[in-house]
Structure 1
Amino acid sequence: MISSTNEYEYSYSDSKSEHHHSYLIKPLIKMMICESVDILEHQKKLRILDIGCGNGSLSNLIAQQGYEVVGIEESESGVKLANENFPSCRFIEGSIYNLPNTELGEKFDIVIAAEVIEHLVYPKELLRNAKECLKPNGRLIITTPYHGYIKNLMLAVSGQMDKHFTTLWDGGHIKFFSVATMNALLESEGYTDIKFNFTGRFPYLWKSMLCSSTLVK
């Protein structure tokens, strides 16, 4: 998770995987493989940028699949833990709103932002900065908690709305996306070939959705 200012920086205490990694990693890797078949025909190893990488644990899981992974994170404690525990990846301290492009080096085949965009006051900035990091026809993969009419209705009927949409979680979720709103956001920034997948729990009550898109340059 990344905040918009350093004043309220999220602090990490260990390098353990986040709870959502358990249900995200398999469909995330599957989506990456499906979207990178053509690229792999021309190169041996894909270059991945993990935006808002936290303590680096997800970056490490991705790197274990044979990818070259660079993670960027605003939290100083997150970057410190990541560099100490996951030497197979490279981690850089920086903000989503102002990516240190000179440090990132060459462009990336895939940019990932896992469970990040829902924390951002200005989510379009993630999409705009990802453009600068992608190779021509590269893929942006975003994961975020799923919201749809049936799920929201169930939350209301079960009395879970206040708990789910809590305002008491400092640094918590402030944007709640459905397929329609995520699709509209991506299209507004010029992304095309938008594909969705879902994971966790039951159909239409999914925990998260995964969205892959591309930007033709």
Structure 2
Amino acid sequence: MTVNKPVTYEYDRIADRKRLDFISAAVAERKGDQVTVLDVGCGNGVISRHLGMLGFNVLGIDVSEQAIARARELNTFPNVNFKVLSAEQLVAAGDTFDVIVCSEVLEHLQQPGALLATLYQSLRKEGILIVTVPNGTGPRELLVTRPVLKMREQNNWLWKMVLKTKKTMGYSGTTVQSAADNLDHIQFFKKSDLETLSTENNFRIVRFGKANFIEDVFPFSFFAKRIKALQWLDCKVADVLPYRFTGGFFSVWEKAR
């Protein structure tokens, strides 16, 4: 695999670029020019297109027709394809891959172990599974995601005030990663939870990485979204803090047997 032009990013946030760099570096360690990559729950295809730009053959799948339509619309790489497809359908077809990327997906699933068991069957013997998830006890999930979900459930005056304030301050609530209708977090993983989940599904985690620290927490987020240097500093701070303080986990998994 060779890169013939400067690397560019569709992501604007430094934390998202850091996650993409972790994924790209792990994929690049695979030997050979015909490495095949599956991007599960690919959303709008940002990760798939980035890996395609680096020269890898990528299939991005998602069950959201809306997300895949957007991914296809944005795609310009002949080595990248997108399909409305479930992981179970790939297993039924007998397709296998050198690398499977499962980025910001498991936190949305009622039974994440069921998907991991399916991905095990789609991963070649010496392949790797790259998993990224928010830290369920990190600053963002504790101080933003969980309170927001609770307020929305109650639909009280406080929730309406939050919506009005976010709109006034320019927070759209959309994401560049996916155009899917429902992006709620229903799983909140600690590092130990990921380790247990991997073992239960015949994987072992061979590498961990960290996302950012408090960039996503208001009022710091209001300034950080406008000042890249603050985002960069926040990511560097996360690297030196214990894992429990990171906003998200990056990890590389291998088959245990």
TM bracket, shorter-chain basis: 0.7 to 0.9
Q: Does 1:195 align with 2:207?
A: yes
> Deviations 1:57-79 (Å, cap 9, x if unpaired)?
22101211121100010111111
The alpha-carbon deviation at position 193 of structure 1 amounts to 4.7
Q: Does 1:131 align with 2:115?
A: no
The alpha-carbon deviation at position 167 of structure 1 amounts to 6.7
* Alpha-carbon separation, structure 1, partners of 2:54 and 2:27: 10
* Alpha-carbon separation, structure 2, partners of 1:110 and 1:167: 39
Pick the structure with greater CA Rg.
Answer: 2
Structure 1: segments with no counterpart, 5+ residues: 1-15
> Deviations 1:17-40 (Å, cap 9, x if unpaired)?
596633311122123334x2xxx1
Structure 1: 4+ residue segments shifted above 4 A: 16-20, 159-162, 164-167
* Alpha-carbon separation, structure 1, partners of 2:196 and 2:92: 30
* Alpha-carbon separation, structure 2, partners of 1:122 and 1:173: 12
* Alpha-carbon separation, structure 2, partners of 1:87 and 1:101: 27
Q: Does 1:24 align with 2:4?
A: no
Structure 2: segments with no counterpart, 5+ residues: 1-9, 154-181, 214-237
Question: CA separation of 1:135/1:167 partners in 2, compared to 1, >3 Å: closer, same or farther?
Answer: farther
Partner of 2:81: 90
Pairs aligned (count): 189
* Alpha-carbon separation, structure 2, partners of 1:216 and 1:137: 10
1:40-55 mapped onto 2 (5 Å cutoff): 40=31, 43-55=32-44
Partner of residue 250 from structure 2, selected from 198, 210, 216: 210
What SS class does the counterpart of residue 69 from structure 1 fall into? strand
> Deviations 1:138-196 (Å, cap 9, x if unpaired)?
11111000244xx46x986xx65743664738540000111101000010111125321
What SS class does the counterpart of residue 186 from structure 2 fall into? coil
Q: Is the 8 A contact 1:50 1:113 kept in 2?
A: yes
Which amino acid is the alignment partner of residue 140 of structure 1? L
Partner of 2:191: 179
Partner of 2:147: 163
1:40-119 mapped onto 2 (5 Å cutoff): 40=31, 43-88=32-77, 89-96=80-87, 98-101=88-91, 106-119=95-108
- Greater fraction helix: 2
What SS class does the counterpart of residue 120 from structure 2 fall into? helix
Q: Percent identity?
A: 22
Q: Is the 8 A contact 1:136 1:216 kept in 2?
A: no
* Alpha-carbon separation, structure 2, partners of 1:144 and 1:155: 11
